[in-house]
Chains A and B, each alone.
Chain A
Amino acid sequence: MSLEEPKPTDVGETPDGNVDYAELEALLGDAVIGREEHVNAPAFVVRPDEVQQALGALREEAGFDYCSCVTAQEYEDRYESIYHLKKYDDPTQEVGVVVPTTRDEPVSQSGEAVYRTADWHEREAYDLVGIEYADHPDLRRILLPETWQGHPLGKDYNPEKPQVVPFREHANPLEPDQRGEGSESDTMFINIGPHHPATHGVLHVETVLDGEQIADVEPDIGYLHRCEEQMCQQSTYRHQIMPYPDRWDYVSAGILNEWAYARAAEDMADIEVPEYAQVIRTMSAELCRIASHMLALGTFALDVFGDFTAVFQYAFRDREVVQDILEDLTGQRLMFNYLRLGGVAWDIPEPREEFFEKVRDFLDGLPKKTQEYHNLITSNEIFQLRCVNTGELPPEVAKQYGATGPVARGSGVDIDLRRDDPYGYYEELDWDVITEDGCDNYSRVLVRMREVEESAKIIEQCVDLLEEWPEEERTIQANVPRTLKPDPDTEIYRGVEAAKGELGIYMRSDGTDKPARFKIRSPCFCNLHTLREMTEGEYIPDLIASLGSLDIVLGEVDR
């Protein structure tokens, strides 16, 4: 695009990049029956039978092309689904669409026709809360077993009730081809997982093969659904929730996840975090990102090369170093529990010089190591054969599915909340957002490898800052009351850039010290949804490579 031509603004967008909600309301017309103020952005209350029309208008005309999350909840008198919409170009432009339904007949129109990603989100809402979506293509349970009775996050769920869970083996894997009348070939059904070395955890992929080619895949999730949202809803804001985020994306991304909760809760309760603590947070979060990307790299090499040797072991060697540093800082190797609302748990360990030296040693060694990885992996011909042009995910499709993180950036979608919706200390530092245009497995791996280098840059700058920080100004925590009780009916949705993409938290307070609704928007959940688009028509080994390059963590997919 030429520079002279100003970017055309969408309906409801002011020239300086803000949202004009009055104009949006006019755009939606009769569909709107009210307006709510959430802390992150205003939300329109929309009639349950006008959902598609409202979402369609917001998407097509107002440019909200990113449905980041669908939150469902039950009130005393109604059910409610909230669609949190954003723009890929500028994620600070947000709007919510609130769809209330009655308790007697909790049916609202599905948003799936507008945003593909709503498919899984609505299935989850149906599964856990019990809202039904009209016109949904495939409304069945997603996390809990099909035979489950009741909706556990609903108000009248009885957790004491017994449940029966079937274990079915597939009777006949061979089926006549269902696609064409005259076709002679049979298809074959294969279960991959839930116990399988290439599924990165307990994922079950139901695959239908036509010869060697994949005719259909369907990820079946929920084998690690350990009620994270319920756990957070029964814990107090101030102290009890913080350990749980560590266990969502447990591949050492702990501090990144903790930050998601910290950011949402701090914005909700209006807590100002001291600058010094922000620098420490930024540094430790990026260390986590390196550890997490290293694991992605190691396991991906394991998937593609199929052995437990060099690359895998090297990646784990480097992870050990990072984990050592993080252990010095936080006291734990994996479940850090280091952030606190309003700051961090404690300062850099004494002697500080020693800690900084350790970090610097690691950073100094990193370029050589990345070179080694490039020699071993990305410039390896076999690897390239396996990964270049396989598992393609065009940018438009990625956006439809709400993909974020390295998966989106590997498809050339330039989104990174650290830059676009800045928090922490990122704004003051000098670093770049990495994108690759290949849209294939190879690009996604490259993005991660290059992001490690960017993270190293960020850490280095943070260490410089911390070293120079005057001793009297080292405040690690703001003054936060012992029990936190945000005003009743405060609602917020906030995301941060975690290792896998946008990790968002929706919270609603009811005036007590525990959230009334706590919803986790997991990047892996949305990224995994793209699997079918990436693999249909490809071969089985490409499916394994694609799954590896998505870098999912089942703890976060299932929550």
Chain B
Amino acid sequence: MSSEQEIHDTVSTQEARMGDGVDNRFNSKLREAFGSSPFILTKFDKFMNWVRGSSMFMLQFGIACCSIEMIHTYAIKHDLDRFGAGVPRASPRQADVIIVPGTIVSKFAPRMKRVYDQMPEPKFVVGMGSCTISGGPFQEGYNVIKGAEEVIPVDIHVPGCPPRPEALIYGIAKLQERVANGETSPVTVKPYELEQFGDLERDELVQHLADEIDEDDLVMRYNWANSP
């Protein structure tokens, strides 16, 4: 068969889109699910999951080098919005996904925890880059938290230093898939929590800081010795 013939034999884009008949012209998954009647029966949970996965509001949250690639993922060319995970929100109260794009250090971790706490449930976390996995190139730094999971639970890890925009898109698509399927993130043990200073164990360090910090101030206590 000549190659010309081949072209003619394949279905044209228009035909493909039209599907079998006029009634079916949009031929979308939803349409298919509807079948001949305009009603569908589904579990509410399932429906909600599907909705959630298809329209995700990201938090505009930049930390370090990875955030540059994250901006590129939002911006022209890679355009994350194509996948229904688009325009970043400036306020955590409007967002349901937080991408953690960078190295977390001791001073920032309590703030990040607070931002995460301010997001409404259900919320999801994408860890971007090696730094959010283990501390990345700065793993041995005296001030660096060895991964975002020490502070907040992470649903998807995207490795790389920095991951390419394509990789981040893949990670987000995976998250969408999981959200749509109603899979929850594994329970992780977070060693670092915000707690009241008064609740800390009264060891030498806490005694020493007693004049500087009020009993009811929130603090985070880092145990570098047993960090991974």
Contacts and interface: CB of A to CB of B under 8 A. Distances in A.
A15 interface: no
B62 A201 contact: yes
A225 B107 contact: yes
Contacts of B156: none
A243 interface: yes
A89 to B, nearest CB: 36
A295 B69 CA distance: 12
B102 A146 contact: no
A261 interface: no
Interface string A275-318: 00000000000000000000100000000000010001110110
B219 to A, nearest CB: 5
Interface in A200-258: 200-202, 222-228, 230-231, 234, 243-244, 246-247, 250-252
Interface stretch (A95-103, A106-114, A159-167): A159-167
Interface in B55-86: 60-65, 67-69, 71-72, 74-77
B122 interface: no
Interface string B157-169: 0000110100000
A167 B72 contact: no
Contacts of A194: 108, 111
A555 interface: yes
A148 B208 CA distance: 11
Nearest to B108: A223
A224 B112 CA distance: 12
Q: Which of B90, B105, B138, B194 has most A Cβ within 10 Å?
A: B105
A162 B224 contact: yes
A226 B103 contact: yes
Given A147-B213, A226-B144, A164 B72 contact: no
Interface in B187-223: 194, 197, 200, 205-206, 208-209, 212-213, 217-223
Given A152-B142, A223-B111, A162 B222 contact: yes
Contact of A227 (B69, B107, B138, B200): B138
A317 B111 CA distance: 32
A161 B143 contact: no
A144 interface: yes
A165 B114 CA distance: 14
A165 B222 contact: yes
Nearest to B65: A250
Given A247-B137, A555-B64, A164 B205 contact: yes
B173 interface: no
A246 B115 CA distance: 28
A254 B116 CA distance: 31
B164 A202 contact: no
A361 B226 CA distance: 54
Nearest to A229: B141
Interface string A155-183: 00101111111111100000000000000
Contact of B143 (A162, A166, A225, A252): A225
B15 interface: no
A333 B161 CA distance: 10
Interface in A180-198: 194-195, 197
Contacts of B138: 226-228, 231
Contact of B142 (A164, A230, A323): A230
Nearest to A160: B225
A146 B212 contact: yes
A316 B110 CA distance: 32
B217 A316 contact: no
Contacts of A247: 64-65, 137
Contacts of B24: none
A295 B224 contact: no
Given A162-B222, A163-B106, A234 B142 contact: no
B224 to A, nearest CB: 5
B64 A250 contact: yes
Given A201-B63, A316-B72, A165 B212 contact: no
A319 interface: yes
A41 interface: no
Given A162-B225, A230-B142, A167 B108 contact: no
Interface string B1-38: 00000000000000000000000000000000000000
Contacts of B217: 166-168
B87 interface: yes
Contact of B221 (A159, A164, A168, A226): A164
Most chain A CB neighbours (cut-off 10 Å) among B108, B143, B200, B222 = B143
B140 interface: yes
Nearest to A234: B140
Name the residue among A145, A149, A222, A234 with the largest chain B CB count within 10 angstroms.
A145
Contact of A251 (B68, B105, B111): B68
Contacts of A169: 218
Given A159-B224, A160-B224, A226-B103, A313 B75 contact: yes
Contact of A225 (B75, B105, B200, B221): B105
B71 A316 contact: yes
Nearest to B62: A201
Contacts of A195: 61, 92, 111-112, 115
A334 B65 contact: yes
A211 B24 CA distance: 62
A145 B109 CA distance: 12
B76 A313 contact: yes
A223 B110 CA distance: 11
A359 interface: no
Contact of B68 (A160, A162, A250, A312): A250
B69 to A, nearest CB: 6
A314 B71 CA distance: 13
A227 B111 contact: no
A244 B138 CA distance: 9
Given A144-B107, A223-B108, A149 B208 contact: yes
Given A167-B218, A167-B219, A224-B105, 7 more contacts: A145-B106, A159-B142, A162-B225, A200-B62, A312-B75, A320-B72, A335-B162
18 contacts: A145-B106, A148-B106, A149-B205, A159-B224, A161-B205, A162-B224, A163-B222, A164-B219, A165-B106, A165-B219, A165-B220, A201-B67, A226-B143, A230-B142, A251-B68, A316-B71, A319-B72, A333-B69
Q: Which 4 A-B pairs have the closest CB atoms?
A: A227-B141, A250-B65, A167-B110, A316-B75
Interface of B: 60-65, 67-69, 71-72, 74-77, 87-88, 90, 92, 102-103, 105-112, 114-115, 137-138, 140-144, 161-162, 164, 194, 197, 200, 205-206, 208-209, 212-213, 217-225
